[in-house]
Amino acid sequence: MSDAEGLFELINSNRAHLREWLPGLLTVETVEQERKWLQERITDTGGEKPLLIIIDKNVVGVIGAHIEEQNAVAEVGYWLAEGQQGRGITTRSCAAIVDELLRVQGMNRIVIRASVENTRSRAVPERLGFVHEGVERQAVKLPNGFVDMAVYSMLTSEWRGAQAMGFVDPSGRPLTFGAPPILIDNQMMLRRPSATDAEELYALLDSNRDRLEWWSSWSPRVRTRKDATELIRSLTHHDKDLGSPLFVYDSGALVGALNVEPSKSEANSATADVRYWIGGEWEGRGLMIRACRAAVDAAIPHFELSGVTIHTGAGNMRARALAERLGFQVLRVDRGASATEDVIVYSVSAADWAENATTR
């Protein structure tokens, strides 16, 4: 399939989704029109530069920049297929193109505009640290009338870099969550499990078997070193961008693990559930609260989350205290949700998490 065919198919299958914010795209009614538009963009050296966002050989969105060479300014725009939202694709794509514009093409200023009401689109520059400069009143006319536009900017002197922010690796490829490792300090880190961790994982599980089997349903299945190897094998075959356990290391030793599992709500907003465990010999040192804080900090922008939940057993006072220290609030109690006790569900919104960053 050609780029024109792939892009037309994407637009055609997302017409209802695009109608609210990008009605201009709906004027494209044939593949030939799409091919002509792409060719015009290619030949116009001073105009808009669109790039296709491709996952598994499928076009899932478009990102591009309109460059004003004289003032070294570029305005970035983007859109994504409805079914692909909530996985951090737009944020990572935007980080990569901003890197290219500021560090390779020599731009000094990047601008992103989004309707004040388009919270998903506005979340992208906010996650990347853009400055909200203000609002252009009734700047764009959409089918339902004129809308105000929020204006965000980033200067080259302010940009930390997509790699430093954990969005791309040194080759420029987008990263999946937890790769490379999330460094907390010079002693602690979170990283994905690998086959070489089986021996250490088995030793930690075996020394904590009594306490883990009370709180978890999965630990009884790991009775041998072979079971630990198989567990890690199944984890590493998990969809690498839809959450999987991260091992918690302190001073080179495996001390526990946590899991960040994203999901979509009925309102199509992305949330994630965090679960965790730590070896008894490592409790009381604040390691898991630091690990959870770092994981949530990384997960919210990566997966474009609107909120995070934590499930704990009602009697697991240490796990409950951790959620409360991080600023999570009790959402509900699921009675009889586990074989041993009720489960308390804590939650925090992404907005509250960001607002309380300095107090955690």
Q: Do 143 and 188 sit in the same domain of this protein?
A: no
Q: Please determine, for residue 242, whether its predicted confidence score (pLDDT) is greater than 50.
A: no
Q: Do 205 and 353 sit in the same domain of this protein?
A: yes
Q: Do 231 and 330 sit in the same domain of this protein?
A: yes
Q: How far apart are CA 213 and CA 218, in angstroms?
A: 8
Instruction: Give domain status of residue 52, yes or no.
Output: yes
Higher pLDDT, 244 or 204: 204
The number of distinct structural domains making up the chain is 2
Q: Do 129 and 204 sit in the same domain of this protein?
A: no
Task: Provide the token pair at 169.
Answer: 């690796």
What is the average per-residue pLDDT within 220-240?
74
**DSSP assignments along 108-131, one per residue:** SEEEEEEETT-HHHHHHHHHTT-E
Domain extent for 98: 3-155
Q: Please determine, for residue 241, whether its predicted confidence score (pLDDT) is greater than 50.
A: no
Q: Give pLDDT, residue 55.
A: 79
What is the average per-residue pLDDT within 162-166?
64
Amino acid symbol at 66: H
Q: pLDDT tens digit string along 99-138? A: 889 988 899 999 999 999 888 888 888 878 899 999 999 9
Domain boundary among 136, 155, 174: 155
Q: Give pLDDT, residue 240.
A: 46
Q: Give pLDDT, residue 168.
A: 58
> Which of these ranges, 145-154, 296-305, 308-317, 344-353, has the smallest mean pLDDT?
296-305
Q: Please determine, for residue 155, whether its predicted confidence score (pLDDT) is greater than 90.
A: yes
Q: Do 108 and 33 sit in the same domain of this protein?
A: yes
Q: pLDDT tens digit string along 299-318? A: 888 888 899 999 998 988 98
Whole-model pTM over 0.85? no
CATH number at residue 351: 3.40.630.30
Instruction: Give domain status of residue 165, yes or no.
Output: no
Q: Give pLDDT, residue 46.
A: 62
Q: Give pLDDT, residue 163.
A: 64
Q: Do 147 and 204 sit in the same domain of this protein?
A: no
Are 60 and 50 in contact by the 8 Å Cβ rule? The answer is no
Handedness of CA 220, 226, 230, 236 (dihedral sign): positive
Q: Do 149 and 203 sit in the same domain of this protein?
A: no
Q: How far apart are CA 339 and CA 293, in angstroms?
A: 29
Q: Do 245 and 317 sit in the same domain of this protein?
A: yes
